[in-house]
Amino acid sequence: MRHLFERIGDYMPHKEEIHLPSCYRKKSLYERMAREFRERGKSENDIICYDYFIRLWKIHLPEFIISKESEFVKCRDCTELEEMRAKATTDHGRQRVDSLLRAHLGKVEMERKRFHYNRERAEREPEEILTIIIDGMDQNKTNLPHLHKEDKSTSNLFRLRTHITGAIVHTGVTGGKVPFVYVDVNHIPHDSNLTMNVLLEILKEVEKHLARVLYLQLDNCFRENKKQISSVTYAVVVQLNIFEEVYVSFLPVGHTHENVDQMFSKFHLVYKYQMPTPWMT
């Protein structure tokens, strides 16, 4: 169940929840899980019943929630398909849109599955592959001073623009991963310079864990991750024999929340209940 949910869910950066696509229902998720088991050669006796599926979900996987509406920027394809479904006047029309939506989500799942495969492989074969995911936290939640409650006298106060870039390195260490956090106060341009600077700092820190192949999972943002300086940096690390190959992957816009966002949710909880102090920032 967890393996399936993680393949299709978005990790929330502001709460300890993983949101499953709103087009799914609990029954359809159970049917999908059962179908995947059958495809792997499992017999009907090996597949749990629907009631036990719901019980396991409630007790052991409460962080997985079927979202009614996305709390962030939505995928354009998802939005268009949902609008088409709302306008459909026949069962056939709605079924056709549902089929298109499942196909779209299937492509997203394949991209996410590739990242999950590479991070697990990095933990099993650390000499062969090093997997790194890098993303930035919502700046509105990190600007200082951060007040628990706003009033008229504080709402217009000057805020120090503080930005957090997080990264998780997957390799053959205890626990399989190493988290990194980098803080800037906008003294570095928020473009490819920032991402590449963070990447190079990470590579210095994990020098003893470098592998033959580098696999990068980045946010699908042209400004920060798709400019010429990024391609040049990847070419340089190969030219210098730091890596033999470099692969870069991007999840589709609107489906980019991954395990690094779960790390951000921890920061959000601390900021929510505690006043930030110098050691926090």
Gap between the Cα atoms of 111 and 244, Å rounded: 23
Preceding amide of 145 cis, omega within 30: yes
User: How many beta carbons lie within 10 A of that of residue 8, not counting itself?
Assistant: 21
- φ and ψ of 215, to 5 deg: -115, 120
Task: State residue 13's pLDDT score.
Answer: 66
Among candidate residues 18, 58, 59, 52, the one with its CA nearest the CA of residue 33: 52
Q: Where are the domains of the chain?
A: 1-71, 116-280
Residue spans of the chain under pLDDT 70 = 13-14, 23, 69-74, 139-141, 146-152, 154-155, 268-281
Assign domain 116-280 to its CATH architecture: 2-Layer Sandwich (3.30)
Beta-bridge partner residues of 144: 160
102 Cβ neighbours under 8 A, 6+ residues apart:
23
**Confidence (pLDDT) at 86:** 81
How confident is the model at residue 269, as a pLDDT?
67
Cα–Cα distance, 195 to 9 (Å, whole number): 25
| For the chain, the helix, strand and coil percentages under 3-state DSSP, each to the nearest 5 | 50, 15, 35
- Residue 233: phi, psi to the nearest 5? -60, -45
Return all residues near 72 (Cβ < 8 A) that are at least 6 apart: 254, 257
DSSP letters along 150-193, please? --TTTTTS--B--EEEEEEEESSSTTSEEEEEEEESS-S-TTHH
pLDDT at 273: 57
pLDDT for res 121: 93
**What per-residue confidence (pLDDT) applies to 278?**
43
Give the pLDDT confidence score for residue 277 in this predicted structure: 47
